[in-house]
Amino acid sequence: MGKISDKLKELGKSKGIMTHVVIGYPNLQETEQTILNMAETGVSFIELQIPFSDPIADGPTIMEASRVALENGIKVKDCFELMARVSKKVDIPLLFMSYFNIVLNYGVEKFCKDAKVAGAAGVIIPDIPPEETKDGFYEACRKHDLDTILILATISTQDRIEVVNKKRRRLIYCTSRMSTTGSKADIPEETKEFLMTLRKKVSLPLSIGFGISKPEHVSFIKNYADIIVIGSKVIDIMKEATPKNRQVEVKKFLNSILAELN
């Protein structure tokens, strides 16, 4: 049993929130403060995104945050050091999110080992298919007891769903639409049908993300998933707020989401 399993067991039939930060946005110090505030507010999981120059699954908000972080000089080393600091200060599972180019350049085995040592409970690498065995990524994750969060989309085939289910990971990350990340006006009606279909085919908890940005979205989808993922909206709030009010506004928003959730 790892931190992710423990948290899911603790939640039981209650719903949880997974939030997201881009390490180094708007700066490294504030990233750390945001993580601590998110945990204090009561979120269940936090993704720490290692910035990358070509984040193919991300929309304009996270792409811009990654650009700012890279211009701030953030390196992978800084990301591991941040994980090591904050994982000692919060009890909830922290996940590294990034892209395989980062993992490959760092060294697959070394990345997984160092991520676990730093305190990461798991990783989300959206551009590695679950069928992929090249470079030994999944084997290295298993060796170092690092959970891999696999992704299913609304267009995932039955074969892909079966592969993900057989992998027997802790949690499945579902996307609410065929799109990149980013705040959206609504959640497609077919997202409910997608999640209800998955419930019949897989036995793992389901998280849902991509576009969830207001309490109304949570109300619309909360009965169909176990974990609600909030990403770009937090960055939008930080961008729009004054530096003095950023953390206040983020906490206010997350409190409104948590109030709607349960």
Catalytic residues: 47, 58
Nearest by Cα to 112 from 93, 125, 129: 125
Furthest-apart CA atoms within the chain: distance in Å:
50
Closest to 150 in 3D by CA, of 133, 165, 135, 134: 165
Q: How far apart (Å, rounded) are the C-alpha atoms in residues 146 and 157?
A: 26
Strands (E), 126-239: 147-148, 150-152, 172-175, 206-209, 227-230
Q: Helices 246-261 and 232-240 sit at what angle, rounded to 10 degrees?
A: 140
Three-state DSSP state, 169: coil
Tokens of 203: 């036995």
CA distances from 155 to 38, 58, 84, 113, 175 (A): 32, 18, 37, 33, 10
Six-digit token string for 19 = 């939030």
Q: Count other Cβ atoms within 10 Å, centred on residue 52.
A: 21
Residue whose structure tokens are 């579902």: 174
Residue 35 near residue 79, CB atoms below 8 Å: no
CB 8 within 8 A of CB 243: no
